[in-house]
């Protein structure tokens, strides 16, 4: 059953790739036929991923959202669903040219984590797992569409003929998207080489334990001692509160991301944003602004329910307290406060157009920091990867 589930996920991944090409063709050919084919293929991919979700649920006997692989693939599926809904509201095929590649990167990122079906740990055995996690992920996915619309708006309108703060930060956003591809590339490359290095170290509870690295250790665990001969000794050692193995993965992702970005710059002979700009010239600025705003007005209350209200109810049930200042809880609150400020600035201060687009980009950066850094690097009750 687990293998069948994986096959459906791979099929969804391929279908999203093909759909992206058709959405690109619809922009190039200026016709609806390509876009209609693209959305049909996207729906087929979503259904394949939905089958993956159901079959993995059957195999695991619980909702598959309990670790980084499962949660992140669900987030990718929710992002595609949010795109499909927005597409049928606005019929903007350019959304597919950007939303689907981001979903593809999210799924590829997820596939680098352990994919085995494992039983739930006791603290997760609650129906609130399904309610809290799925609703929070859906809210974040809808908010991510505002990022897509904002990114397209900035690519179209930021002047690429001269260097400026806007061109720098826009290129930085695209660079970090490339770093996701760097993570996939680094993990795949060392996995093929079957790299493995074992460390004995002291954890945050002052207990001696073992950690296995699948990437060369640029940073090692607290008081870590390399047990595998012939492998790289760490350059630095982290404090006990930091997950050294996952921080090491982030560093390798950045290094591979820099390499891929450099290759792209050499191929394009210009900034990535400047290369993409001709593809988005025909879409209306007001439409992009409306999509970004509508995505936040829908996604914000969904996120509020899932990430705050349902989370606090579950925390009271599980830990007899509504709030505990765990890193994940803090960043969920930061995310909520940011999007509350987004709506306030838009409605009361008139922050439309480019200002609104930059806010959407910053909001997505906060969501990604929560998903990547808080889950992987900072030790806490929610570090379940």
Asked if residue 304 and residue 244 are part of one domain, the reply reads: no
Q: Does any domain span residue 277?
A: no
Asked if residue 87 and residue 179 are part of one domain, the reply reads: no
Give the confidence band of 381 by pLDDT, cuts at 50, 70, 90.
Answer: low
Q: Does any domain span residue 52?
A: yes
Alpha-carbon distance of 257 to 180, in angstroms, equals 7
Asked if residue 184 and residue 101 are part of one domain, the reply reads: no
Given 204, 238, 269, which residue is the final one in a domain? 269
The pLDDT score that the predictor gives to residue 385 is 47
Asked if residue 288 and residue 205 are part of one domain, the reply reads: no
Asked if residue 177 and residue 58 are part of one domain, the reply reads: no
What digits encode the pLDDT tens for the residues 258-294? Answer: 999 999 999 999 999 999 998 888 889 999 999 999 9
Alpha-carbon distance of 130 to 134, in angstroms, equals 6
Q: Does any domain span residue 92?
A: yes
Q: Which domain holds residue 249?
A: 169-269
Given 269, 300, 328, which residue is the final one in a domain? 269
Q: Does any domain span residue 88?
A: yes
Q: Does any domain span residue 274?
A: no
The CB density around residue 194, as the number of other CB atoms within 10 Å, is 7
- For residue 83, give every residue at least 6 positions away whose Cβ sits within 8 Å of its Cβ, in sequence order, or none: 42, 95, 96, 99, 100, 103, 145, 148
The pLDDT score that the predictor gives to residue 132 is 87
Q: Does any domain span residue 233?
A: yes
Asked if residue 147 and residue 101 are part of one domain, the reply reads: yes
CB 153 within 8 A of CB 95: no
234 closest CA partner among 217, 213, 215: 217
User: Considering the chain, what is the average pLDDT of its residues?
Assistant: 86
Given 230, 247, 269, which residue is the final one in a domain? 269
Pairing mode of beta strands 197-202, 208-213: antiparallel
What digits encode the pLDDT tens for the residues 82-141? Answer: 999 999 999 888 899 999 999 998 998 888 777 787 777 666 677 777 888 899 999 999
Asked if residue 197 and residue 154 are part of one domain, the reply reads: no
Asked if residue 50 and residue 97 are part of one domain, the reply reads: yes
Asked if residue 217 and residue 119 are part of one domain, the reply reads: no
Q: Does any domain span residue 333?
A: yes
Query: How many domains, in total, are found in the chain?
Result: 2
Reading the block at residue 123, the tokens are 């603290």
What digits encode the pLDDT tens for the residues 42-57? Answer: 999 999 999 999 999 8
Asked if residue 145 and residue 56 are part of one domain, the reply reads: yes
Q: Does any domain span residue 289?
A: yes
The pLDDT score that the predictor gives to residue 122 is 67
Alpha-carbon distance of 203 to 223, in angstroms, equals 9
Reading the block at residue 62, the tokens are 């619980």
Asked if residue 123 and residue 15 are part of one domain, the reply reads: yes
Asked if residue 194 and residue 314 are part of one domain, the reply reads: no
């Amino acid at each position: 059953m687990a293998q069948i589930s994986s096959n459906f996920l791979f099929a969804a991944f391929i279908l999203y790739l093909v759909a992206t090409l058709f959405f690109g063709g619809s922009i190039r050919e200026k016709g609806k036929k390509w876009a209609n084919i693209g959305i049909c293929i996207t729906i087929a991919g979503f259904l394949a991923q939905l089958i993956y979700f159901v079959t993995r649920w059957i195999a695991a006997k619980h909702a598959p959202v309990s670790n980084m692989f499962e949660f992140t693939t669900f987030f990718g599926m929710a992002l595609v669903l949010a795109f499909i809904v927005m597409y049928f509201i606005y019929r903007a095929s350019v959304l597919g040219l950007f939303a689907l590649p981001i979903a593809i990167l999210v799924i590829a990122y997820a596939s680098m984590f352990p994919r085995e079906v494992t039983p739930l740990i006791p603290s997760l055995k609650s129906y609130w797992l399904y309610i809290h996690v799925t609703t929070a992920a859906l809210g974040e996915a809808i908010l991510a569409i505002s990022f897509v619309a904002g990114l397209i708006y900035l690519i179209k309108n930021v002047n690429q003929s001269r260097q400026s703060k806007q061109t720098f930060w826009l290129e930085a956003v695209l660079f970090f998207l490339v770093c996701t591809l760097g993570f996939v590339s680094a993990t795949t490359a060392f996995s093929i080489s079957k790299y493995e290095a074992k460390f004995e170290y002291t954890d945050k509870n002052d207990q001696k334990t073992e950690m296995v690295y699948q990437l060369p250790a640029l940073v090692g665990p607290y008081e870590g001692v390399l047990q595998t001969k012939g492998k790289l000794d760490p350059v630095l050692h982290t404090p006990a509160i930091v997950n050294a193995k996952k921080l090491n993965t982030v560093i390798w992702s950045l290094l591979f991301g820099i390499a891929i970005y450099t290759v792209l710059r050499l191929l394009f002979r210009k900034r990535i944003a400047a290369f993409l700009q001709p593809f988005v010239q025909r879409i209306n600025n007001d439409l992009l602004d409306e999509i970004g705003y509508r995505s936040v007005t829908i996604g914000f209350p969904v996120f509020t329910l899932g990430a705050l209200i349902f989370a606090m109810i579950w925390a009271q049930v599980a830990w007899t307290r509504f709030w505990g200042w765990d890193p994940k809880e803090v960043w969920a609150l930061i995310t909520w406060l940011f999007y509350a400020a987004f709506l306030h600035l838009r409605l009361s201060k008139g922050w439309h157009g480019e200002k609104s687009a930059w806010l959407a980009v910053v909001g997505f950066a906060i969501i990604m920091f929560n998903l990547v850094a808080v889950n992987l690097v900072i030790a806490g009750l929610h570090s379940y990867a």
